[in-house]
Amino acid sequence: MENTLVSLFKGYADTCPIEVPLKTVINLLRDNQTVLEHTEKHRYYLKQEQVTAAAREKASCPCFAVSVRFEGGKQKANISEWTGLCPVDIDHVPPERMECCLKLLRTDKHTLLQHITISGQGIRLLCRYTGLTDDCEKNLRLHTRIFAAINEYYTRLTGLECDLKCKNATRLSGLAHDENLFFNPDAAPFSLPAETHLHPGRTTADNTKNRRRLQRVIDTATRLLADEGVEYTEHHHNEYIMRMGYLLNAYGVAQTTATEWAKERFADYDGDVSSIFASCYLNIKEHGSRPLPSRHQAQADNERQEFMASVADIEQFLSNQGSFRKNTVTGKCEVLPAEGGEDYEELTDRYVNTLWCRMCKELKPGQSAHIRAVLESEFVDTFNPFEQYFENLPPWDGSTDHIARLASHVHVRNNTIPFAFYFKKWLVGMVASLFDKETVNHEILVLIGRQGIYKTTWLNNLLAPELRRYFYLKSNAHRITKDDLLTLSEFALVCLEELDEMETQEVNQIKALTTMKVVNERAAYAHYKEHRNHIASFCGTSNNTHFLVDPTGNRRWLPFEVENIDSPYDFPVDYAGIYSQAYALLKNDFHYWLEDKEIEALSLHNRHFEVPCLERELILTHYRRPMPGEKCMFITNSQILCRINSGIRQKLSPVKIGMVLKQEGFEPIRTGGKRGYRMVELTGDEIQANSYAMGRYTEHL
């Protein structure tokens, strides 16, 4: 028995099992150091109530499939063999009963393997059973029945409830260290008595008739669901079972009979089939309201079904209509029509309906839903438009600075930092975010200047014509929506227009979006949320120089005040040169991120674009830092607020006062239970003298 082969996984996320004998699993449970470490860490984290950390240790521990062996995965479709083993989990055993239960279970003739679970609070058993066949579907039904019988047996034996969630034949069993595990290779197998469908008070003929009617109902319901495109496939199990339950109720099948059939038919479903059918049968008025088609009608329906276009027919038809591909960035299907289209175009509802009409006329009748299902399957190859564009660019010559040439067409003023230098880093960062899942372009390029100088046009023209579809212009909407989040995974460049018109909250939200690595949202009309990578880089325009509102820092912004921009129509962009250079720089480990000294220079540069801060202006007007050894005062926040707030109607923020004092280098002190700063308080005459001095200093600026 210890040589029975099982599928072993490195962890619950692993999908590539290896076949090992059961004795290897026993050795791992008893002696393996890695299993021991995961077990001890899991139990430690549980005691500390660190649930996430405990779950991580459990998921990292090796596990194996008890009832089946797998090839190439761990789904129902990957089942290759049946082991004849069944799991039993007894969770949350009272500590005072643990030792007694262990002894009781070891003395039972059916217990093959017994060990304590990773939590240290439960017992896991393995048992043998007989009756397996070469038919996987029959084995699934057998496993469901034998699992229920075995778990009921051990519940009666111990008086403790078994975990019925383990009923799925594909369920994995996690390993847990137990040096005192029990193994009995001569354990007796369980077996089920032959099934009987006879009901008290009914004859064999009655039962045969009922079974035939049930089968007719099931065949009819299955055909109806197939016609509607409802299939028992991954992610649609619950929907299919519920729809089947409603139909069986409508055709008048008794709830008990329907539930018994469903529990065997959907034995691989993890949920509670009985509860789903109980919900379906709540509508008493619907019970028996639908007449069952006659045999002749059913035969006609079968013939009609055979006359309908099959999946193979649809695939052959679509192959003759053009070339299809799935855009992994937009998530949409694209088509190059066979009748002579110049380029791929996104598939629309109108085009799908046209395909359906053609198929019905030229081939066989079918459903448009079936065409959509094929188009959303592996029949259509995937492609990434950015990979296709960059991999077909000519190589960069290694010397010509195409990016600097492009930047030279933007003429900036108040140039405290070089525009071309920071623009090159931003552009290469944009390319990096298109290819590296771990990279997000954190900087937001902003062009500031008067209207009509090509700010938005120049930014729009940054993308090559082949990629222009991935430019998105966001006007001020005063809020960030789910659609805005989805744009992060669909567009290469998002342009924020009229930044100075955005609310403070929205500007801060946009700054936060620049660091979001993934988007987990459900697109419109989609069935499920999708985990998609953030590929978008941000740029923006503003007519107002002062738009930065965060007093804590604005290092995410790359604002430049623009004097004018050379007309993009008179100076066309060399896209091949620019992007071949950017791509080559990226592959040669160009530092597209900002170094510390560059961040420091940018922070000083951004002071020019900050919205005036009343707290900063008033503090610098009334106070200054003391010189070394100079006599000064200890002044608290409240004293500062009391002095500078006089005569001002606008409410000042104590939090901002603290931020300004820290940024301006005032020394914080805590003494006598108070917090304050060492400061020199300026008199009215000193304030006036400083004002005159500033006036003289700025006279010729």
Does the pLDDT value for residue 647 go beyond 80? Answer: no
Pair 289, 312 in one domain: no
Mean pLDDT (the chain) is 86
Pair 411, 371 in one domain: no
Pair 605, 671 in one domain: no
Q: How confident is the model at residue 592 (pLDDT cuts 50, 70, 90)?
A: very high
**Can you give the pLDDT at residue 203?**
47
**Can you give the pLDDT at residue 701?**
56
Burial state string for 169-202 with b = 16 or more CB within 10 A and e = fewer than 16 = bbbbbbbbbbeeebbeeebebbeeeeeeeeeeee
Q: What percent of the chain has pLDDT over 90?
A: 43
Pair 66, 137 in one domain: yes
Over residues 450-468, the pLDDT tens digits come to 988 999 999 999 999 999 9
Pair 255, 321 in one domain: no
Does the pLDDT value for residue 490 go beyond 50? Answer: yes
Q: Phi/psi class of residue 53: alpha, beta or left (left: φ > 0; alpha: ψ in -120 to 50)?
A: alpha
Inside any domain, residue 100: yes
- Residue of higher predicted confidence among 617 and 6: 6
127 contacts 110 by C-beta, under 8 angstroms: yes
Q: How confident is the model at residue 493 (pLDDT cuts 50, 70, 90)?
A: very high
Give the number of residues written for the chain: 701
H or E segment to which residue 311 belongs: helix 311-321
Does the pLDDT value for residue 411 go beyond 90? Answer: yes
Pair 80, 147 in one domain: yes
Last residue of a domain, one of 260, 283, 300: 300
Phi, psi of 353 (to 5 degrees): -65, -35
Q: Phi/psi class of residue 611: alpha, beta or left (left: φ > 0; alpha: ψ in -120 to 50)?
A: beta
**Can you give the pLDDT at residue 304?**
53
Does the pLDDT value for residue 308 go beyond 80? Answer: no
Last residue of a domain, one of 300, 335, 367: 300
The structure tokens listed for 54 are 């405990």
Does the pLDDT value for residue 692 go beyond 90? Answer: no
471-480, 651-660, 686-695: which has the highest mean pLDDT?
686-695
- No. of H helices and E strands in the chain? 25, 26
**Can you give the pLDDT at residue 524?**
67
**Can you give the pLDDT at residue 656?**
82
**Can you give the pLDDT at residue 202?**
47
222 contacts 232 by C-beta, under 8 angstroms: no
Inside any domain, residue 397: no
Does the pLDDT value for residue 101 go beyond 50? Answer: yes
Inside any domain, residue 390: no
Q: How confident is the model at residue 298 (pLDDT cuts 50, 70, 90)?
A: low
Burial of 382 (0-12, 13-18, 19+ CB in 10 A): exposed
Does the pLDDT value for residue 432 go beyond 90? Answer: yes
Q: Phi/psi class of residue 290: alpha, beta or left (left: φ > 0; alpha: ψ in -120 to 50)?
A: beta
Q: Which residues contact 594 (CB under 8 A, 6 or more apart)?
A: 425, 443, 555, 602
480-494, 573-587, 627-641: which has the highest mean pLDDT?
573-587
- For the chain, what is the domain count? 5
Does the pLDDT value for residue 135 go beyond 80? Answer: yes
**Can you give the pLDDT at residue 311?**
86
Pair 340, 214 in one domain: no
Inside any domain, residue 332: yes
Range of the domain at 243: 204-300
Degrees, nearest 5: CA angle 428-433-437: 145
Mean local confidence (pLDDT), 550-562 = 83
Inside any domain, residue 522: yes
Pair 369, 445 in one domain: no
Which residues on neighbouring strands pair with residue 21, listed in sequence order?
5
86 contacts 125 by C-beta, under 8 angstroms: no
Pair 266, 375 in one domain: no
Pair 632, 603 in one domain: no
Does the pLDDT value for residue 212 go beyond 90? Answer: no
Phi, psi of 315 (to 5 degrees): -65, -40
Pair 222, 350 in one domain: no
For residue 203, count other CB atoms closer than 10 A to its CB.
Answer: 10
Domain containing residue 579: CATH number: 3.40.50.300
Mean local confidence (pLDDT), 92-102 = 91
Over residues 613-627, the pLDDT tens digits come to 788 888 889 999 999
Mean local confidence (pLDDT), 475-486 = 71
Strands (E), 433-577: 444-448, 471-474, 493-496, 518-521, 530-533, 537-542, 557-565
**Can you give the pLDDT at residue 294?**
67
Phi, psi of 342 (to 5 degrees): -80, -30
Does the pLDDT value for residue 345 go beyond 80? Answer: yes
Does the pLDDT value for residue 195 go beyond 50? Answer: no
Pair 554, 599 in one domain: yes
**Can you give the pLDDT at residue 189?**
92
Inside any domain, residue 199: no
Mean local confidence (pLDDT), 413-435 = 92
Q: Phi/psi class of residue 598: alpha, beta or left (left: φ > 0; alpha: ψ in -120 to 50)?
A: alpha
pTM score, whole prediction? 0.54
Last residue of a domain, one of 574, 609, 644: 609
Pick the closest to residue 571 from 392, 430, 411, 420 (CA basis): 411
Inside any domain, residue 394: no
Distance CA 345, CA 269 (A): 40
Q: What percent of the chain has pLDDT over 70?
A: 93
Does the pLDDT value for residue 85 go beyond 70? Answer: yes
Inside any domain, residue 388: no
Distance CA 62, CA 172 (A): 10
